Amino acid sequence: GENVEQHPSTLSVQEGDSAVIKCTYSDSASNYFPWYKQELGKRPQLIIDIRSNVGEKKDQRIAVTLNKTAKHFSLHITETQPEDSAVYFCAALYYGQNFVFGPGTRLSVLP
């Protein structure tokens, strides 16, 4: 089955700096890769996603890049703000049906 790895598990950055989180997946059939932000005790919120026919997607301060050959994708957050502090999960859509989630990255943005 699909396996998604995510690094780093924790990340601390100074406010205004950039943050990068990387994920790798194992099944080349996966073709949709969303990123979720989850605050404590709340539902995951979709922040950006990318499909396998696109290499990069950007939405204001957030961008995602995908390397299909290497089977990895990354989340980039620029000009980080304290409200970006949360746990971020990547996921891969497995056989068009199920999401397989990465283990998560706890991002702390220090003022």
Partner 1 sequence: GAVVSQHPSWVICKSGTSVKIECRSLDFQATTMFWYRQFPKQSLMLMATSNEGSKATYEQGVEKDKFLINHASLTLSTLTVTSAHPEDSSFYICSAREGRGDEQYFGPGTRLTVT
Distance of CA 2 to the CA centre of its chain: 16
Cβ atoms of 26 and 3 closer than 8 Å: yes
* Residue choice 29, 46, 54, 110 for contact with partner 1 (CB under 8 A): 46
Distance between CA 88 and CA 6 in Å, rounded? 10
* SS3 (DSSP) at 52: coil
* Residue choice 41, 53, 69, 83 for contact with partner 1 (CB under 8 A): 41
Considering the rule CB under 8 A, would residue 53 count as an interface residue with partner 1?
no
With contacts defined by CB under 8 A, how many residues of the chain interact with partner 1? 21
Question: Measuring CA to CA, how many Å separate 5 from each of 37, 51, 87, 97?
Answer: 16, 18, 15, 19
Considering the rule CB under 8 A, would residue 102 count as an interface residue with partner 1?
yes
Considering the rule CB under 8 A, would residue 44 count as an interface residue with partner 1?
yes
* C-beta closer to partner 1: residue 42 or 83: 42
Considering the rule CB under 8 A, would residue 75 count as an interface residue with partner 1?
no
Question: What's the maximum distance between 2 C-alpha atoms anywhere in the chain?
Answer: 42
Cβ neighbours, 10 Å, residue 16? 11
16-35 positions binding partner 1, by CB under 8 A: 32, 34
* Residue choice 53, 69, 70, 96 for contact with partner 1 (CB under 8 A): 96
Query: Can you give the binding site for partner 1, defined by CB under 8 A?
Result: 32, 34, 41-46, 49, 51, 89, 93, 96-104
